[in-house]
Amino acid sequence: MKLLKEKIEKEGNVLSDTVLKVDSFLNHQIDPLLMKEIGDELADRYADEVITKVLTIESSGIAPATFLGLTIGAPVVFARKRKSLTLTDNLYSSKVHSFTKNETNEISVSKNFLSPEDSVIIIDDFLANGEAVKGLLDIAEQAGAHVVGVGIVIEKGFQDGGKQLRKQGIRIESLARIKSLANGKVEFFEDGEF
C-alpha cells in the first residue's frame, strides 16, 4: 500500500534492527485518514470473503479494524489484555507474549461476541513473531468460528510469525512488509516478493 509505505518512510523511526517506531500515525498518535484508507484496502483485499466479525486486540488494532468494520458492515470485537470488573466470566482466553514489552498478557473475549456461525477476520497493527495473531486464532478456534484470514498494517518480514502462519495455510494480507531495518533504514519487500 503506497500511502502507508510513504508514511513509514517519512515518519517511521528505526530504533534498532528489529524495532520500528510508528507512534506518530499508528500506535500512539493516529492518522484517521490513513486508518480509513487502511480499512478500505483491507476490505478490498478480502472482498471475495463473507465476513461477519472483525477481531482485533487493544489498543492499536482498534482504529484500522473499526474502519474495516464500517466498510464491510461487520461489528468489531477487540480482545482485552486485562480483565475488568464488568467482564469477569464467560470468556475465551489465551496467553500472548509481547517481545517488545517483554511481558505475557492473558487476552480475552466474551463468549457473547464470537460463535460457530461467525466468519472472522483478524486485524492487528504489527506482525512480528505472530504471538498476538496466534492468541486471536486460538480464541477464534475456542469459539468454533471460521477464520477467513488475517489483515496486518505492518509486517516485519524478517521475523518469523508471518512465515509460520502462512505455512499453516492461513491467509495473511500485510499492507507493508518490511524486509530489513538494518543500518537505520527501512527496506520493504516488493509486492509478491517473499
Closest to a second copy by CB, 113 or 158: 113
Is residue 91 within 8 A of residue 68, CB to CB? The reply is no
Out of 29, 95, 141, 194, the only residue in the binding site for a second copy (CB under 8 A) is 29
In angstroms, the CA 167 to CA 155 distance is 16
- State the chain's maximal CA–CA distance in angstroms: 48
Element (H, E) at 65: helix 62-72
Do the annotations mark residue 129 as ligand-binding? yes
Q: Does residue 167 have a known ligand-binding role?
A: no
Residue closer to a second copy by CB (options 59, 182) is 59
Of the candidate residues 12, 43, 46, 80, the single one contacting a second copy (CB under 8 A):
80
Cell of 153: 498494517
Q: How far is the CB of 173 from a second copy (least distance, A)?
A: 19
Binding-site size, a second copy (CB under 8 A): 41
Cα angle 95, 99, 101 (rounded to 5 degrees) comes to 90
Q: Per rule CB under 8 A, is residue 106 in the interface with a second copy?
A: no
Supply the angle between the helices 2-11 and 32-45 in degrees, to the nearest 10. 140
Q: Does 101 bind a second copy (CB under 8 A)?
A: yes
131 is in an annotated binding site: yes
Contacts to a second copy from residues 34-63, by CB under 8 A = 35-36, 58-59, 62-63
Tell me how far the alpha carbon of residue 100 is from its chain's centroid: 15
Binding range to a second copy, per CB under 8 A, among 95-103, 116-124, 155-163, 172-180 = 95-103
Q: Does 66 bind a second copy (CB under 8 A)?
A: yes
Using alpha carbons, select from 73, 128, 123 the residue that is nearest to residue 100.
128
C-alpha cell at 95: 496467553
- Residue 141 counted as an annotated binding residue: no
For residues 120 and 69, is the Cβ–Cβ distance under 8 A? Answer: no
Residues of the shown chain interacting with a second copy in the complex, contacts defined by CB under 8 A: 15, 19, 21, 23-25, 28-33, 35-36, 58-59, 62-63, 65-67, 69-70, 73-78, 80, 84-87, 100-102, 109-110, 112-113
